């Protein structure tokens, strides 16, 4: 029975229960987002695990050498729910990205004639791939299983942080195989696989590495594969035309020869199997060396007890998901825990069990003194996912901050990561939002890292003139449109990031730094075009480019959002923006227009990364720059409109179905938006230490905090139609402002909403009851 | 003035002097062997240094993708004396090989228009290369210099073990460049450069690595380049067509951008220079990491005192060369010290200054507890070069043995190296002669390694059935000609190696092992073909293949030697071979025929790796399998013939001129033959602890031994015509046998020859006065 159909039954059965210590896993549907735009995957992982072991339903190249293949985009995570064949199970994936990489160490069990090519979806018999059906596929946090219809092999997957574990149940066969295809890549193109190496250390252990150049420009991943049943015969093939074979030609390297290197290495391992015979295979990864992978294997997954390892993976998830205990309606429960699950996929642990880790400079660092993380998609995740982790995962958050600082120390440019990617910088998207993450952590008092070093790193990143027009930005006050793409978006995001630096500097008594970055934080004002009323990209001479189309994104100086959306990216100075517009009502009108305008298909096409499923009116929830937008009504004294909007977004953009996500999940940012919003509050401007109140979707939520405290959210009179907040009490006392602070959350306590089916137009509307803004 | 022409003057000046503590360096001519077949190079190195920094006179590919290019062979060491242009100065070379690799980190200073291609020898202006002339080139141990005629730049080179040091004297120029071409390889072919990476850490330090796949199938070399003058501008270019550029396209990566990776990376570093301005550049290598290279740089070559570093390199050589102090005629002096110099080029130090080193399995090993060496061309060097090192370099020899054992532990096959090549096995040539090196070290009592482990490693290598017919050899008693090439050569060499194992096992009281390998050592007998009288390759069914040509090598079951030469490869059982032939006279006749027959050009062509310069009659000195042959007369009771032959070989095959070597120097084996022979004794069968006496070419030699002892060779009545030994005394007592033992040498003492112009047909002719043989 598929998890999807199981889901609905479970939801009914659990509809009246608060999540118990075991149940939250059952509320998660890993297939959510696997259809169409979500770019999630259904495979097995543990929270923040390096190994994300998941089926791949096709190997669609990013390019065959003659230009970008648009079909590749659907395969960012390797899996598309609509597909009917599986090519194999790979050990690394990104959850929800809109550009991709990884898909390392693709493995596929087969029986019968040995085939080393994947074959085509149209003719699965042409290769090692197999048909499958969602009827014989199931996934839950930490575990995945599927029956391969062509061979009858059942595949079960689970994982530890650094080890993927497979259990294959074979039919009787005198030719059972396991294919390990080291040529397979997500977003493949000619030359992406730089080099691979394999060594059959003995009949139960293969070691090796894969070196690729793609989104991560120079990445190496070491592995160790342990076989539960001694391999009876094998072949480590290299399919490239070897111009130079040297003295190796004296060996038959294709059969039972224990070492091979090359650019096109594929391996097969063979057994005779009895009917129903199970073979467990464990795959450990390491950034350091094959010896590191073997050590990870031995430390995390000794023995061959697949069930035990799977139970441990599930317990790890139950522990994470139980950090928030919920009482809510079934769909909310399913959405919430699935979102919390998807919010716990990245960053991933990158250091080995012994603490060693590869650095951005290629060197191996030992004794860093913390767990090193990678996969920071910061343009996405600084908004809500990192703020969520500061509440739920303070210790991991500290290690993540230290990982960012280590990245900076290893960077030849001396800057914090834009997108930290397996000891690489892939420079994806814009801004220097690592500074927001650092600032937020510092201002929330997380501690555990050197504040002076952090401020120095933030300043270095903000002053990295070579990057994306920062030099011009510092000189002119804006990124000039005639020299840079996305000049408006860049200017706006730099201004926000600069404000977080100013906040930290102020807090540390670094007055001059605070003043400088306070000035820079106001740079958004330079973009105001009184003629059109939008914040717009501006040329170096101060002029605004002609041919302005506020509905278009491309060529207008924006990225993943048009003028209607992006002009609202002043999260740190909403009050200033309101002043500029001429008052709160002007902002409300803007927001109402945004959410209610009718937009044609051409305008959707003119946006990036979205489909109609990801928008409401012209509001683009499928892309991150708008995530704070529905909360802006609170800054204009009309919180009831925020309440209605966020509940609608929660309902329309999040559904417990494979196509249930309105856009790329983006390493958990889309999901973290839901988690916060369902709890009733959202970090509009990380660095402010404020959460703006929205409309909780739950009846009750209990958030475990560090040190045995908890923060409880209660929503009396909760119902699908009761989207409005009638009143709020914090720790028993009436709360007349539409925000709470991080200190209030972190101290533990109770936030008690009373919901209503009609707006309360009096509550939290006064100027002093609105959230913080730098201009206030 | 060229070293070549300087050479003759120096020789005259020094003709009456014994070498002093400073002088031996002046007797060395690094250009010997750089013309034609020697495959040596004239560049700068210290003894056994990893860095062998030398000019390359062309970049001739091994293949352009459509088959072997025979022109490449001349460029095994990158330098051909007859060339008129230099393309640059690379940091790693093999001295004297007959197949090749390396040529890492090619650097070339230029002025004027920036050119990143080497251009052609015909039109040097078409690239960065320059004309040069031997008139403005000079080399001595540890130092090299040349004037680049096209630019007027003077280049001076020196080295430490792990650091190459350049000093460029520029003309006045507003466009002085240093080109670093990471695409350049010796024995290049499409795809050989797997990946390269560079990082400009600051304006005085570049780090990076080069990864190649050639003779070493998967090799990585890290480097750190320090500039004595801050770089004023630079470019790290990648010349490949980058299908995927990702988000890096936002940077101008060609100008002053500090990081680059790819398959075609070339760099330039630019300065303005004043007339005569000198810039020192240091290049450190490491097998471990760029951090390792930086540490090697700081430890070995701090500061910018080129003269001081060069003086130290020269002192290192003087120290090594002075281990043997000589009184001899000028040509002998030049030949001898040049040979001793060339005998001290390999193996090379492979571990970093901190003791860490990359292993055959790709992992980094720390704290091995010894200096790890690589570049073991064992088929060549087990014969005389390693035996020479056991006398002159006992501590290095122990570390070399431990390096061989470490290689075995890292080998997925669990075997000792055939050819240890920068953490790779290249499987070049035949046999498992590491066992000979281990056995020789053990039997000479070197100690310092685990004997049981060594014997186990020797047995594992000898029982490696998968390799070159060993399985058949063990079963049949010979390597079958219908299944293996070079079957006769392999059988003969296995038998010798097996004898060394038997010797060790016997010495350790491992009776069964000794008996088994004693049996195997007699396998050479299985090759005797009574019909032709040669030791011949034999089919699996015991038959001898038809179409036998004793003058041919190819297809006859031999390699680098025909039946006349290779049948004599029974160094451990010459007495047995004599018995088989029917008595000592038969061997003498064979040897006389061999040395005196007239051989036509077709037969020379039918041999491998030789030219007429490398042969005397049909005796092939240019290839190793014959190196012991002239000494075999002693086993037949006619030592005077050995004496005459070896003196002739010394005279004809070794001359102090660029074309002065009769064949590839083969990492010092050819040269070590000379060193031993000039001293009057030679290790015919390493493992026997015997040195067979020949005809010393020196008047007096004093060999420094460990512990302050010395072994002195005196040859009274020495003269070019006095090639015969009239009598010998050892430590004052008459010596009536034509061999001495290692124990006698190592104990220190005096070996006193009296030379004569006519043979003494009485001395050391009796059976009991002949050297050891297993059948005796």
Which is it for strands A364-365 and A357-358: parallel, antiparallel or unpaired?
antiparallel
| Strands in A626-743 per DSSP E | 681-682, 690-693, 700-704, 710-716, 724-730, 733-734, 739-741
Query: Rounded to an integer, what distance in angstroms lies between the CA atom of residue B704 and that of residue B381?
Result: 22
d(CA A296, CA B88) in angstroms, rounded, equals 45
- For B81-132, give the DSSP string: TT--EE-EEES---SS-SS-----SEEEEEESS---S---SS-GGGSS-EE-
- Write out pLDDT tens, residues A350-373: 999 999 999 999 999 987 789 999
- Percentage with pLDDT > 70 across chain A: 96
Hey, is A344 helix, strand or coil?
coil
B106 touches chain A (CB under 8 A): no
- Cβ pair A539, A480 in contact under 8 A: yes
What does the pLDDT look like over B499-534, one tens digit per residue?
Answer: 999 999 999 999 999 999 999 999 999 999 999 999
For β-strands B749-756 and B710-716, DSSP reports them as parallel
pLDDT band at A15 (very low <50, low <70, confident <90, very high): very low
Question: Which of A194, A247, A255 best tests the B interface by mutation, with the highest count of B CBs <10 A?
Answer: A247
For B366-419, the pLDDT digits (tens) are 877 899 999 999 999 999 999 999 999 999 999 999 999 999 999 999 999 999
Query: Cα(first)–Cα(last) distance of chain A, in Å?
Result: 56
pLDDT for A392 equals 97
Average pLDDT over chain A, rounded to an integer = 95
Give the closest-approach CA distance of A361 to chain B in angstroms.
8
Answer yes or no: do B214 and A466 touch at CB < 8 A.
Answer: no
Rg (CA), chain B: 26
What integer is the mean pLDDT of A143-155? 98
Which of A246, A254, A262, A432 to substitute to test the interface with B, most B CBs within 10 Å? A246
B426:A289 CB<8 A: no
Neighbours of A543 (CB within 10 A): 11
What's the whole-number average pLDDT of chain B? 95
Distance CA B687, CA B438 (A): 9
CB contacts of A191 in chain B (<8 Å) are 243, 263
CB atoms within 10 A of CB B221: 24
Nearest to A44 by CA among A112, A116, A137: A137
Chain B residues close to A466, C-beta within 8 Å: 251, 257
Coil vs helix vs strand at A647: helix
A368 CB-near residues (< 8 Å, 6+ apart): A351, A355, A357, A402, A406
Query: What's residue A662's pLDDT?
Result: 87
How far is it, in rounded angstroms, from Cα A498 to Cα A459? 9
Element (H, E) at A276: none
In contact, B189 and B62? CB cutoff 8 Å: yes
> Which has the closest alpha carbon to A214: A485, A464, A428, A431?
A428
Classify each residue of A593-604 as buried b or exposed e, where b means 16 or more C-beta atoms within 10 Å of its C-beta.
ebbeeebeeebb
Predicted confidence (pLDDT) at residue B21 exceeds the cutoff of 70: no
**Nearest CB neighbour to A290, from listed B214, B259, B363:** B363
Q: Please list, in sequence order, all residues whose beta carbon lies within 8 angstroms of the beta carbon of residue A713, skipping any fewer than 6 positions away.
A: A679, A680, A696, A698, A700, A701, A702, A703, A750, A751, A752, A753
Q: What is the pLDDT of residues A693-739, one digit of tens each?
A: 999 999 999 999 978 899 999 999 999 999 999 999 999 999 999 99
- pLDDT recorded at residue B17: 38
Whether the Cβ atoms of residue B348 and residue B50 lie closer than 8 Å to each other:
yes
pLDDT band for position A22 (cuts 50, 70, 90) = low
Beta-bridged to residue A53, according to DSSP, are A44
Cα separation, A214 vs B417, in Å, equals 36
Main-chain phi, psi angles of B89, to 5 degrees = -125, 115
Q: Give phi and psi for B476, each to the nearest 5.
A: -90, -30
In this predicted structure, the answer to whether residue B472 has a pLDDT above a threshold of 70 is yes
- pLDDT surpassing 50 at residue A584: yes
Report whether pLDDT(B578) > 80.
yes
Mean pLDDT for the stretch of residues A281-310: 98
Closest by CA to A737, choosing from A639, A628, A629, A633, is A639
Beta carbons of B495 and B522 less than 8 angstroms apart: yes
The stretch B322-344 carries a mean pLDDT of 97
Residues of B whose CB is below 8 A from A200: 412
- Cα-to-chain-centroid distance, residue A558: 22
Length of chain B, in residues: 776
From the list A88, A45, A258, A260, the residue with the least C-alpha distance to A178 is A88
Phi (first) and psi of residue A503, to 5 degrees: -60, -45
Q: Would you call A209 an interface residue with chain B, using a CB distance cutoff of 8 Å?
A: yes
Task: Average the pLDDT over A542-566 and give the result.
Answer: 94
What value does the mean pLDDT take over residues B258-270?
Answer: 98
Pick from B757, B723, B696, B714: which is nearest to B336 by CA?
B696
For A225-276, the pLDDT digits (tens) are 999 999 999 999 999 998 999 999 999 999 999 999 999 999 999 999 999 9
Please list, in sequence order, all residues whose beta carbon lies within 8 angstroms of the beta carbon of residue A334, skipping any fewer than 6 positions away. A7, A11, A27, A28, A29, A656
Check residue A505 and give its pLDDT. 98
Confidence band for A156, pLDDT divided at 50, 70 and 90? very high
Tell me, yes or no, if B426 comes closer than 8 A to chain A by beta carbon.
yes
What is the H or E stretch that residue A223 is in? strand A219-227
Distance CA B365, CA B359 (A): 6
- Angle formed by the axes of helices A434-443 and A394-410, to 10°? 140
In contact, A442 and A504? CB cutoff 8 Å: yes
Chain A hits for B191, Cβ within 8 Å: 243, 263
Evaluated on CA atoms B84, B90, B94, B98, the torsion sign reads: negative
- B531 preceded by cis ω (within 30°)? no
Q: What is the ipTM of this complex?
A: 0.95
Q: Interhelix angle for B330-342 vs B669-679, to 10°?
A: 140
* pLDDT on residue B22: 57
- Which of the four pLDDT bands, split at 50, 70 and 90, describes residue B19? very low
Say if residue A43's pLDDT is above 50: yes
Q: Any residues with CB less than 8 A from the CB of A714 and at least 6 apart, and which?
A: A699, A700, A750, A751, A752, A753
∠B182-B188-B194 over CA atoms, to 5°? 55
Is residue B236 within 8 Å of B198, Cβ to Cβ?
yes
The answer to whether A183 touches A266, Cβ cutoff 8 Å, is: yes
Say yes or no to pLDDT of A1 above 70.
no
Q: Quote the pLDDT of residue A605.
A: 74
- B188 lies within 8 A of chain A by CB: no
From CA B434, how far away is CA A722, in angstroms rounded? Answer: 84
Q: Does B261 touch chain A (CB under 8 A)?
A: yes
Report, as an integer, the average pLDDT of A447-461. 97
Q: Is A38 exposed, middle or buried (0-12, 13-18, 19+ CB in 10 A)?
A: buried
* φ, ψ dihedrals at B473, nearest 5°: -55, -45
Q: Which pLDDT score, from 0 to 100, does residue B12 have?
A: 39
- CB-CB under 8 Å, A363 with B290: yes
Partners of B364 on chain A (C-beta within 8 Å) are 289, 364
Q: Cβ atoms within 10 A of the Cβ of A175, count?
A: 13
B428–A contact, CB cutoff 8 A: yes
Which residues, in sequence order, are CB contacts of B64 under 8 Å at separation 6+? B189, B190
Percent pLDDT > 70 in chain B is 96
Residue of B247, B260, B420 to mutate, interface with A, max A Cβ within 10 Å: B247
Statement: residue B614 has pLDDT above 90? no
User: Residues A618, A623, A625, CA angle at the centre, nearest 5°?
Assistant: 85
Contact across the interface for B63 and A363, Cβ inside 8 Å: no
What pairs with residue A238 in β-bridges? A265
Q: Can you tell me the distance from the alpha carbon of B562 to that of A154, in angstroms, rounded to the nearest whole number?
A: 61
**How far apart, in Å, are the Cα atoms of A164 and each of A54, A75, A116, B768?**
9, 21, 22, 70
- CB of B379 less than 8 A from some CB of A: no
Average pLDDT of the residues in A641-648: 98
Residue B13: pLDDT over 70:
no
Angle A118-A120-A121 from CA coordinates, rounded to 5°: 115
Handedness of CA B150, B156, B160, B163 (dihedral sign): negative
Tally Cβ neighbours within 10 Å of residue A751.
25
H helical segments located in A357-433: 378-381, 385-392, 394-410
pLDDT value, residue B23: 80
Tell me what pLDDT residue B775 has.
64
Instruction: Give me the residue from B65, B243, B250 closest to A468, CB to CB.
Output: B250
Hey, is the C-beta of B195 within 8 angstroms of any chain A C-beta? yes
Is the CB of A490 inside 8 Å of chain B's CB atoms? Answer: no
**pLDDT tens for residues B533-560?**
999 999 999 999 999 999 998 899 999 9
Query: What is d(CA B295, CA B15) in angstroms, rounded to the nearest whole number?
Result: 44
């Amino acid at each position: 029975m598929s998890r999807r159909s199981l889901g609905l039954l479970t939801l009914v059965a659990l509809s009246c229960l608060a999540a118990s210590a075991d149940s939250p896993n059952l509320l998660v549907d890993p297939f959510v987002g696997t259809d169409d735009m979500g770019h999630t995957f259904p495979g097995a992982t543990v929270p923040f695990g390096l190994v994300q072991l998941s089926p791949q339903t096709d190997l669609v190249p990013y390019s065959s050498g003659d230009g970008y293949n648009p079909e590749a985009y659907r395969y960012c995570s390797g899996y598309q729910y609509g597909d009917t064949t599986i090519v194999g199970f790979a050990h690394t994936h990104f959850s929800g990205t809109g550009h991709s990489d990884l898909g390392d160490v693709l493995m596929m069990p087969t029986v019968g004639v040995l085939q080393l090519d994947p074959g085509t979806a149209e003719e699965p018999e042409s290769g090692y791939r197999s048909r499958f059906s969602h009827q014989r596929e199931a996934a839950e946090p930490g575990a995945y299983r599927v029956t391969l219809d062509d061979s009858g092999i059942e595949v079960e997957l689970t994982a530890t942080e650094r080890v993927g574990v497979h259990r294959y149940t074979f039919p009787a066969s005198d030719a059972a195989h396991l294919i390990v295809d080291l040529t397979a890549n997500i977003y493949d193109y000619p030359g992406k696989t730089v080099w691979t190496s394999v060594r059959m250390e003995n009949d139960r252990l293969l070691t090796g590495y894969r070196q690729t150049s793609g989104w991560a420009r120079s990445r190496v991943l070491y592995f160790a594969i342990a076989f539960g049943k001694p391999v009876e015969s094998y072949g480590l093939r290299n399919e490239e035309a070897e111009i130079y074979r040297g003295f190796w030609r004296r060996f038959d390297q294709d059969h039972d020869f224990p070492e091979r290197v090359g650019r096109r290495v594929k391996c097969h391992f063979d057994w005779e199997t009895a009917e129903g015979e199970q073979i467990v295979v464990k795959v450990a990864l390491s950034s350091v060396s094959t010896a590191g992978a073997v050590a990870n294997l031995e430390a995390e997954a000794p023995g061959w007890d697949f069930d035990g390892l799977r139970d441990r993976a599930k317990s790890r998830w139950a522990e994470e998901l139980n950090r928030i205990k919920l009482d809510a309606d079934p769909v909310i429960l399913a959405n919430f825990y699935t979102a919390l699950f998807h919010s716990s996929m990245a960053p991933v642990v990158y250091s080995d069990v012994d603490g060693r880790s590869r650095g951005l400079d290629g060197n191996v660092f030992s004794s860093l003194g913390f767990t090193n993380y990678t996969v920071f998609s910061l343009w996405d995740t600084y908004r809500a996912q990192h703020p969520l982790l500061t509440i739920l995962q303070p210790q991991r958050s500290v290690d993540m901050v230290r990982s960012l600082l280590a990245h900076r120390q290893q960077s030849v440019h001396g800057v914090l990561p834009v997108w930290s990617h397996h000891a690489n910088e892939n420079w994806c998207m814009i801004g220097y939002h690592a500074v927001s993450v650092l600032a937020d952590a510092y201002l929330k008092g997380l501690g555990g890292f050197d504040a002076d070093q952090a401020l120095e790193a933030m300043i270095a990143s903000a002053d990295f003139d070579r990057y994306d027009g920062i030099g011009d930005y510092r000189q002119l006050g804006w990124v000039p449109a005639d020299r840079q793409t996305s000049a408006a978006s860049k200017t706006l995001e730099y201004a926000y990031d600069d404000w977080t630096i100013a906040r930290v500097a102020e807090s540390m008594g670094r007055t001059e730094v605070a003043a400088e970055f306070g000035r820079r934080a106001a740079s958004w004002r330079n973009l105001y075009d009184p003629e059109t009323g939008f914040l717009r990209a501006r040329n170096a001479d101060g002029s605004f480019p002609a041919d302005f189309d506020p509905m278009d994104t491309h060529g207008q100086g924006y990225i993943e959002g048009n003028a209607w959306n992006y002009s609202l990216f002043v999260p740190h100075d909403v009050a200033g923006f309101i002043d500029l517009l001429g008052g709160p009502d002007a902002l409300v009108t803007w927001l109402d227009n945004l959410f209610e305008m009718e937009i044609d298909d051409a305008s959707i096409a003119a946006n990036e990364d979205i489909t109609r499923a990801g928008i409401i009116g012209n509001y683009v929830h499928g892309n991150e720059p708008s995530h704070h937008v529905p909360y802006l009504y609170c800054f204009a004294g009309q919180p009831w409109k925020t309440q209605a909007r966020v509940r609608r977004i929660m309902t329309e953009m999040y559904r417990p179905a494979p196509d249930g996500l309105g856009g790329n999940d983006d390493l958990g940012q889309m999901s973290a938006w839901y988690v916060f919003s369902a709890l009733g509050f959202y970090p509009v401007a990380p660095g402010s230490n404020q959460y703006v109140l929205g409309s909780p979707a739950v009846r009750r939520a209990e958030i475990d905090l560090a040190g045995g405290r908890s923060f409880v959210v209660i929503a009396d009179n909760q119902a699908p139609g009761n989207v409005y907040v009638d009143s709020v009490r914090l720790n028993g006392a009436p709360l007349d402002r539409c925000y709470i602070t991080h200190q209030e959350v972190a101290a533990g306590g109770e936030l008690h909403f009373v919901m209503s089916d009609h707006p309360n137009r009096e509550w939290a509307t006064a100027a002093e009851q609105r959230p913080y803004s730098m201009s206030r």
